[in-house]
Amino acid sequence: MTERRETGRPRSKPAGAKGRPGGKPGNKPNHKPGPKGRPAAARGPAPEADWSEGERIAKYLARAGVASRREVERLIVEGKVTVDGRKLTSPAFKVTGKELIRVGRRTISAPEATRVWRYHKPSGLITTNVDPEGRRTIFDELPRTLPRVMTVGRLDLTTEGLLLLTNDGALARALELPASGLERTYRVRAHGTVTPEKIEKLAQGITVEGVKYQPIRAVLDRETGANNWLTVTLAEGKKREVRRALESLDLMVNRLIRVSYGPFELVDLKPGQVDEVPPDLLAQAVGHLYEGLGGGDIAPRKAPATPRKPASKSGRSGLKTAPRPAGKPRGKPGRKPDEEWSTSAERSSPKSRLGSKPSSGKLSANRKRSKPR
């Protein structure tokens, strides 16, 4: 044992030290192991600033509209992202927004406030950025004036109706999670016979091909020949959940329209139309989701102060409000039958307090009323 300790002693000497054992006494302190014994020149870089209040660079650049988080991480690995002139090699870096951030030759501005849009997705569009089969996607049809946005969940190719868009990935994730408790409501046209027993099976929860679905509320609205219109409400939103659950009960879905997502409603949006949710109503509707769900470090961000006209009482905001007494439906010449166009169980669309129609009910000068053909 003694010989091993003696022969191992020279090997414990730092590799970068000069001289032999027993050299100049002045060099001995540099040979001592541990942080205190290292020479000043051998010490590492100065400690980083406190980034505990910052945000990860990939998330920050994704909110700024540069690219997705994965794409940003790839750009960082390629050395195309710099912060205050320092080239980053790892996405494990936080910024506060006060730094000079560049991606290639482009200087990145601070991300804008969180925004949400309601979009009426038409049937026949794919909810994805790029489709390998070359089919049209919703991003091919969205207005070019929109910033970089992402979808809150997805809708199938033939499913239409309300699809939420946002520029905040953390908020999108929070809205998607079942833990948010946000219910999705659909208007469903299905071929088959609807019985109380089938409605009860959905209400108790159902398992289809090994996939268990939580209780689904279904209400039969009316029968139109061999088809039936139902209002279906669920909270999970699993892949093709409505179609698979109903098909397991011999109800073949031939039209599916999502009319609400949590507090957001389709209301009177036309297919392909996009409408932004006002910032004050957005904070009121989902402000509690900024904390605790998928992004606990997120806090409500106020949108830039822009003057906005007061909302009229007869307008529509796309947010759920207290139910009003059903009025007498008003028919319009040339409009399709209710069975073809209706997105709600009632004949008339629900009203809310924000919209574009003047409270007087009269058309403005720049809008002409066309005569029925």
* Residues designated catalytic: 156
- The total of other beta-carbon atoms located within 10 Å of residue 295's CB is 18
Which residue reads 């994805």 in tokens? Answer: 128
CB neighbour class for 363 (10 Å; exposed up to 12, middle 13-18, buried from 19)? exposed
CB 260 within 8 A of CB 185: yes
> What angle, 0 to 180 degrees and rounded to 10, lies between the N-to-C axes of helices 279-286 and 169-176?
40
CA atoms of 6 and 305, how far apart (whole Å): 76
**Tokens at 203, concatenated:** 């209400």
- The total of other beta-carbon atoms located within 10 Å of residue 112's CB is 15
Which residue reads 């900024």 in tokens? Answer: 290
CB neighbour class for 235 (10 Å; exposed up to 12, middle 13-18, buried from 19)? middle
CA atoms of 318 and 259, how far apart (whole Å): 10
Beta pairing class for 150-151 and 184-191: unpaired
Partnered with residue 151 across adjacent β-strands are 165
